[in-house]
Amino acid sequence: MSGRLAGKVALITGTAGGQGRAAALLFAAEGAVVVGTDVQADAAAETVELVRAGGGVMDSTHPLDLADEDGVRAWIDDAAARHGGIDVLYNNAGATRFSPVADTSYADWSFVLRNELDIVFLATKHAWPHLVARGGGSVLLVGSTAGITGSLTNTRIAHTATKGGVVAMTRQLAAEGAAHGIRANCISPGMIRTPATEGDLLAADHPMRTIARAIPLGRIGAPEEVVACALFLASDEASYVTGANLVVDGGWSAVLPGA
């Protein structure tokens, strides 16, 4: 353990699996007290057990709907009271639906905005006073390559809008947080192999299943590769970094595809 987050209290949303579980394990291994939450209670509890089995410190509130403002406020206020404050908020959680614009119902549009934009706003809003009281800290948002490029192979009008919004929110939070010592940064993953992507974008019948051919590094990313970047942004090593959008996609969005 190198202790890059020693002494810090880190709140992470969506810790039941995927990148959220990987983040909980890594942040705890680096010395943070991790406070998690997820709508999936059993898997969230399993993450706590895994962290503790590895010698880390973690507690979790689950199940929690992160669009329930009273529940979010209570989760954050209780965590701050138990642990003496908050140093890091990692807005990892999200849920999406993919569809082309003409086929996107208002219900689906609203679902994606609720679960990819509203939940980020609510957690950040209610963590903000605690970060101000702490005299600073780090807010991490999770964007996507979907927030910076369109796609011919994945129809995702709502997801594109929310992730573009997350990138924009990051810049505004950096502006508003600077006077308080609060840094706000975004991690934008490309194609990452998680239970969610295995069930849709990387499924055998999806046109994106062969996307690794278009990625300069030639492979799909792993959750651990994303959260390693989040660790840097959350740590004091990134003390002069705010308002940044770090793209973690193997070079996918940096180049045009070959012929």
∠212-213-218 over CA atoms, to 5°? 60
**Structure tokens given for 100:** 């082309």
Which helix (H) or strand (E) segment holds residue 48: the answer is helix 41-53
3-state secondary structure of 224: helix
Residue 198 lies inside a defined structural domain of this protein: yes
Residue 128 lies inside a defined structural domain of this protein: yes
- List, for residues 37-74, the tens digit of each pLDDT value: 999 999 999 999 999 999 999 999 999 999 999 999 99
Q: In the chain, how many domains are there? A: 1
Residue 2 lies inside a defined structural domain of this protein: no
**Structure tokens given for 156:** 């995702």
State the sign of the Cα–Cα–Cα–Cα dihedral 132, 136, 137, 140: positive
Which helix (H) or strand (E) segment holds residue 140: the answer is strand 137-142
Give the length of the chain: 259
* Cα 58 to Cα 35: distance, rounded to the nearest angstrom: 6
- List, for residues 129-175, the tens digit of each pLDDT value: 999 999 999 999 999 999 999 998 889 999 999 999 999 999 999 99
The more confidently predicted of residues 165 and 2 is 165
The closest alpha carbon to 185, from 219, 235, 145, 117, belongs to 235
Residue 107 lies inside a defined structural domain of this protein: yes
Residue 1 lies inside a defined structural domain of this protein: no
Per the structure, the complete domain to which residue 164 belongs is given by: 9-249
Mean pLDDT of the chain: 95
| CATH code for position 110 | 3.40.50.720
Residue 233 lies inside a defined structural domain of this protein: yes
Residue 258 lies inside a defined structural domain of this protein: no
Residue 4 lies inside a defined structural domain of this protein: no
Report the b/e string of 172-192 with b at 16+ CB within 10 A.
ebbeebeebebbbbbbbbbbb
Radius of gyration for the chain, computed over Cα atoms and rounded to the nearest angstrom? 18
